[in-house]
């Protein structure tokens, strides 16, 4: 069959590498299907523009923030290709399959990981053998009834999957090229949709496979810097150490970044640095122990120890901070700001809390009537953007948040440069030895700085966002909601 995998438009300038869909594409292609992947964030297209490909199935990877564009595209494909089957997957439809399938423009929902569920669905639609009821992990319509099949077993051996279908995209068009090193997380953070999506299960790609995929990306696509994603990357110490030793032995001229959720020892950091690690995203979330307890996220002291263990090895951590949680007060928020100061004002990412469906905090917010739960799929259009910008579920004064966000945007680039000068001055000396790598890093910093300035999906709009919206005639949040309703009525 001809299968189009679609990534709808998302907010912001940042382009996320489509690891999940590339993995699904590889499995489908391996089993003889013709697959195309389209990322609207690199250039949007209409359904009509895919006429030459003529898809039999279009699969949408849908997070809460891109429901509106997913609806628009699904309707467009249904009108353009009358016999096409629309399949929705990823976090939002997995959390709310019944509500998603209630719409006529959605034929199937894949709950959880999609590789084998979509493959079996494609085989059924192509050959007509078996039955829909036998496809685990699938939700579908039987007349006016919505059927939720038995869940698909969690994939414990990620090594059985083929390498992602990187040839379907241009990796260098993305800001980060990444490899998913694990699925799931051993923790159950109350704000995180992974706990619902993976239901507490964890599986790891082997150290050998991570290294071989890294080597292939460098050899075939010229990628010299890789982001290793997966909450378990720094938690599984045995695999982390094995991976680092393999990379050291291979002597690849490859630098890398990774996500860190757990504690990193001095030994871990030394080995990571020797293996090419230059930076990490440290998921601290907050500097207030009260808020960390609300999130079931760990403790402040452990994050501080991890931070300095990394910095001493010239690995630069970027703190991932969220704010405006339910019950969070001005005092709690100021504890986070003091936490950042204690760490000598390092680089950080600053994101406003958004409650995602079926998470513990979402259910709590609904129970306490802090949010109105959308009753229809289209009502989710603008939900994420509202709580990321206008909504405030905390007790933090709006002025305090606005002022802090303004400082974050204004100092985004200078903060990183000054921290590097203080804690890794050798980096600037190496600019003479490796000018190409230095200027690539500088360009990356400039792009991220512009993204921070122009990001209209995080807190109060900056004056640059307002100017861009006026010049480009970008619709406001209310107009975006109205546009979805107009599409549904046509």
Q: Report the alpha-carbon distance of residue 66 to residue 56 in Å, rounded.
A: 23
Beta strands of 112-233 (E only): which ranges? 138-142, 145-148, 178-180, 182-184, 202-204, 225-229
Contact 394, 329 (CB under 8 A): yes
Q: Report the alpha-carbon distance of residue 157 to residue 136 in Å, rounded.
A: 18
How much is the pLDDT for 466? Answer: 47
Q: What number does CATH give the domain 176-324+331-349+358-363?
A: 3.20.20.70
Contact 21, 7 (CB under 8 A): yes
Class (C level, CATH) for 2-148 = alpha beta
Mean pLDDT (10-residue bins), the chain, 490 residues:
95 80 98 97 94 97 94 97 97 96 98 96 92 96 96 95 97 92 90 86 95 96 94 90 96 91 93 96 96 94 97 95 97 98 94 95 96 95 90 95 90 90 83 66 61 55 46 47 52
Which residues are bridge partners to 320 per DSSP?
Answer: 349
Torsion angle defined by CA atoms of residues 404, 405, 410 and 415, in that order, rounded to the nearest 10 degrees:
70
How much is the pLDDT for 486? Answer: 47
How much is the pLDDT for 444? Answer: 61
Domain ranges of the chain: 2-148, 176-324+331-349+358-363, 397-460
């Amino acid at each position: 069959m001809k299968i189009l995998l679609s990534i709808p438009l998302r907010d912001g300038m940042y382009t996320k590498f489509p690891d999940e869909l590339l993995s699904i594409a590889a499995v489908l292609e391996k089993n003889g299907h013709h697959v195309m992947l389209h990322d609207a964030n690199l250039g949007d297209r209409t359904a009509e523009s895919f006429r030459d490909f003529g898809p039999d199935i279009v699969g949408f990877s849908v997070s809460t923030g891109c429901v509106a564009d997913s609806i628009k595209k699904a309707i467009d494909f249904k009108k353009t290709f009358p016999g096409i089957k629309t399949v929705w997957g990823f976090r939002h439809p997995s959390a709310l399959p019944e509500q998603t399938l209630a719409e006529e423009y959605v034929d199937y929902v894949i709950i959880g990981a999609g590789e084998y569920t979509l493959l079996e669905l494609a085989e059924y639609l192509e050959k007509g053998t078996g039955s829909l009821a036998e496809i685990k992990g699938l939700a579908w319509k039987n007349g006016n009834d919505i059927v939720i099949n038995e869940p698909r077993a969690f994939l414990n051996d990620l090594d059985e999957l083929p390498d992602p279908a990187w040839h379907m995209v241009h990796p260098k068009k993305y800001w980060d090229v990444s490899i998913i090193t694990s699925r799931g997380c051993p923790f159950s953070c109350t704000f995180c949709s992974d706990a619902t999506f993976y239901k507490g299960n964890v599986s790891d790609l082997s150290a050998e496979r991570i290294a071989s995929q890294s080597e292939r990306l460098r050899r075939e696509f010229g990628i010299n810097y890789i982001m290793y994603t997966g909450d378990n990357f720094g938690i599984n110490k045995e695999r982390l150490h094995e991976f680092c030793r393999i990379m050291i032995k291979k002597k690849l001229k490859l630098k890398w970044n990774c996500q860190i959720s757990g504690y990193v020892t001095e030994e871990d950091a030394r080995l990571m640095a020797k293996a090419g690690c230059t930076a990490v995203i440290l998921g601290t979330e907050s500097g207030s122990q009260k808020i960390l307890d609300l999130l079931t996220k760990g403790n402040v002291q452990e994050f501080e120890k991890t931070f300095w263990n990394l910095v001493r090895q010239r690995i630069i951590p970027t703190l991932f901070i969220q704010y405006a949680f339910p019950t969070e007060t001005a005092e709690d928020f100021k504890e986070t700001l003091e936490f950042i100061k204690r760490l000598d004002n390092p680089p950080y990412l600053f994101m406003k809390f958004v409650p995602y469906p079926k998470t513990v905090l979402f259910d709590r917010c609904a129970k306490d009537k802090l949010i109105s739960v959308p009753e229809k799929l289209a009502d989710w259009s603008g939900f994420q953007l509202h709580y990321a910008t206008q909504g405030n579920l905390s007790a933090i004064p709006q002025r305090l948040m606005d002022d802090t966000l303004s400082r974050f945007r204004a100092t985004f680039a200078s903060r990183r440069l000054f921290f590097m000068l203080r804690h890794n001055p050798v980096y600037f000396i190496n600019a003479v030895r490796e000018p190409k790598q230095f200027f690539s890093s500088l360009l990356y910093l400039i792009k991220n700085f512009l993204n921070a300035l122009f990001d209209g999906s995080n807190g109060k709009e900056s004056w640059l966002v307002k100017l861009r919206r006026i010049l480009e005639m970008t619709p406001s949040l209310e107009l975006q909601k109205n546009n979805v309703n107009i599409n549904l009525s046509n």
